[in-house]
Structure 1
Amino acid sequence: MDAPSFTAHLRRDRLVAIVRGRDAEASLRAVLALVEEGVGLVEVSLTTADAAGVIARAARELGGDAPVGAGTVVSRDDLLRARDAGARWFVTPALGPGFEAAAEQRLPVLAGAFTPTEALTATTRGATAVKLFPASLGGPAYLAALRDPFPDMPVVPVGGVDAAAAAAYLAAGALAVGVGGPLVADAAHGGDLTALRRRAREFLAVVGRAGEAS
């Protein structure tokens, strides 16, 4: 996947599901369940148990239909390990070595930033989009203010995004939203997959309505 393809996925799907689990098998089941429910972009955090193994198995299962991403990419080694496992796009918590390595290799990267300076630095140095993190500190009003000087900046708020916040961020101009706990909850630790599927449908309905309104 290249950067334009990743941007197209973000614009179309408007939702990035973030899986971070203590149980590798449960994390894999969560990834597959999310995709089965229609979530096109699923990020496996590298803090997940056997993250590289989960990414590799999910990539084999899903093929090109739902390209798997790797999150919490902090270092160059993180990036290389995730890429070699089969991750097709990458998410960083900050503008550190992981982001720099992705940008150098022209890999699709959602780069963590919060301030206007960080967001501008991310886009000028090769980020495909800005991961506004932690978005909960400023909320949709902060995103709207950030977009005043940067109206064309592709921004994906992450951190504390529940269904109501997702709708508000998208209304404020977010390209997509990244959702972890409010969507995945305990499913990646061995929790209820039926409840995960229900929440996935709820979030997909929210982002779908936001897309129709925009």
Structure 2
Amino acid sequence: MTPEQFLDGLSESRLVAIVRGTDGSAAAEAALAVMEEGFCYVEVALTTPDALGAITRIRASAPESCFVGAGTVLTEHDVHDVVAAGGQFIVTPALAGSIEAGASLGLPVLAGALTPSEAHGAMTRGATAVKLFPASLGGPSYLKALRDPFPRTPFVAVGGVGLKEAPAFWEAGAIAVGPGGPLVGDAASGGDLNALRDRARAFVALAARHGEGKRP
């Protein structure tokens, strides 16, 4: 998957799931569950125990149209570990050396940024898109203001974005939103997978309705 394909796919699906928990096996099960319910892009945070093992397991079992990446990727070493585990894209929480390292390997990079300077710096370093994080800090109005000087920069809203908040971020110009806790809950730590599936279906349905409303 090239960065261009990643960007096109993410813009179409409007969603990327953020899986972070206390158990790698449970995280893998949670990721596969949301994929089965319609999420095409899932990141597993490297702060999750045995995250790399989870990524390998997900990659081996994921539907053909689904992609797994790693979050909280900070260093060049992290990038190489993710690639070795089968990760297909990386996500950073901030401006870090992993941006250039990932871009140099041709990986899609979703780089964390909050301020105008950080957003510009992320794209300059080779990011495919900017992860506005934490998006809840400024809300949709902040994203809208941020896009005024950067109309061609693709933004993904992450951090405190649930079903209630997602439509406003899409309306403000986010190409996608990245639900974490509001989607996954405690499933990545061994919690209820059925409840997770219900939430995943709700997010996918919401994204589809928003997409239909945008078509001419």
| Same topology, TM > 0.5 | yes
Q: TM-score, normalised by structure 2?
A: 0.96
Alignment of 1:161-200 (within 5 A): 161-200=161-200
CA distance in 1, matches of 2:166, 2:177: 6
Alignment of 1:42-121 (within 5 A): 42-62=42-62, 64-121=64-121
Displacement of 1:125:
2.2
Displacement of 1:91:
0.2
CA distance in 2, matches of 1:67, 1:17: 11
2:152 aligned partner? 152
CA contact (8 A) 2:35 2:63 kept: no
CA distance in 2, matches of 1:64, 1:55: 15
CA contact (8 A) 1:19 1:43 kept: yes
Displacement of 1:105:
2.1
- One-letter amino acid of the structure 1 residue matched with residue 78 of structure 2: D
CA distance in 2, matches of 1:70, 1:142: 27
Q: What percentage of aligned pairs have identical amino acids?
A: 57
Displacement of 1:63:
6.1
1:37 aligned partner? 37
Q: What stretches of structure 1 of length at least 5 have no aligned partner?
A: none
Q: What stretches of structure 2 of length at least 5 have no aligned partner?
A: none
Q: TM-score, normalised by structure 1?
A: 0.97
Matched, 1:10 2:10: yes
Aligned length: 214
CA contact (8 A) 1:16 1:177 kept: yes
CA contact (8 A) 2:99 2:125 kept: no
CA distance in 2, matches of 1:149, 1:165: 23
- One-letter amino acid of the structure 2 residue matched with residue 54 of structure 1: A
- One-letter amino acid of the structure 1 residue matched with residue 96 of structure 2: G
After TM superposition, what 4+ stretches of structure 1 lie above 6 angstroms from structure 2? none
Give the alignment's Cα RMSD to 1 decimal.
1.0
2:210 aligned partner? 210
Displacement of 1:213:
2.1
